[in-house]
Amino acid sequence: MERNLAAVRVRIADACTSVGRSPDEVTLTVVTKFFPASDVRLLAGLGVTDVGENRHQEAEAKAAETRDLGLRWHFVGTLQSNKAAAVARYADVVESVDRAKLLTGLARGAAERGAELDCLVQVSLDPPGAGEGRAGVEPDGVLDLAERVAGTGGLRLRGVMGVAPLGGDPAAAFARLAEVAADVRRLDPEATWVSAGMSADLEEAVRAGATHVRIGSAVLGRRPTIK
């Protein structure tokens, strides 16, 4: 794990150097889904500050087990509206805000916790007409949703998140995400985060301006079960 983590940090640094960015501009979030809380603890010992999860029950349990570590928890999965409040009680960042219906629950959870919740609007990067794609709001709906997030008490709009389409060109997808991110920043100058890039495409994401990369398998190895 230590070796993998070091290799990922080198990849991030090299990608930054190739476009004249500083590695300090990129936060590494290690996605720990399917791996036990004991691994989260090891990661914290190796200097990891941000961890991500995509399923509520698993995330809630692991966050509770490792509360003493002071990690930042990123929720990166599809969110059911009836779970939104519960997620906001332990997550520091919800990266997968993809519809207005989630906002009331997220705000309620944040209020119960007594902390502002950082939110990213998840942008669909699938080509138009791809049919049932992955989660995320279509680019032309992003500003409307971003405005609603920014206007909801207890929620802080921090930027956008995207997942490159399977089989597509990640550089092109992340270029589209960068355009949307710039529009969101014009709406709210504090919304500077761009979460893009996973194990297979972190270089393309960093080159396109990602401020956050979400890395699972390159650090933890192959996940124990198929997602």
Pick from 223, 119, 190, 126: which is nearest to 161 by CA? 119
Binding residues among 159-188 for ligand PLP as defined by CB under 6 A? 163
Query: Is the separation of the CB atoms in 9 and 27 below 8 Å?
Result: no
Burial class (CB in 10 A: 0-12, 13-18, 19+), 123: buried
Residue 50, strand partner residues: 29, 72
**Distance of closest approach, residue 186 Cβ to ligand PLP, in angstroms:** 26
Q: Is 198 in the site for ligand PLP (CB under 6 A)?
A: yes
Out of 12, 15, 16, 33, the residue judged to bind ligand PLP by CB under 6 A: 33
Q: Is 212 in the site for ligand PLP (CB under 6 A)?
A: no
- What the block records as the tokens of 223 is 């996940």
Query: Is the separation of the CB atoms in 3 and 31 below 8 Å?
Result: no
Q: Is 4 in the site for ligand PLP (CB under 6 A)?
A: no
Binding residues among 55-84 for ligand PLP as defined by CB under 6 A? 76-77
Residue nearest to ligand PLP (CB): 216
Q: Which is nearer to ligand PLP, 31 or 93 (CB)?
A: 31
- What the block records as the tokens of 156 is 């802080």
**Distance of closest approach, residue 163 Cβ to ligand PLP, in angstroms:** 6
The residue ranges that bind ligand PLP (CB under 6 A) are: 31, 33, 54, 76-77, 163, 198-200, 214-218
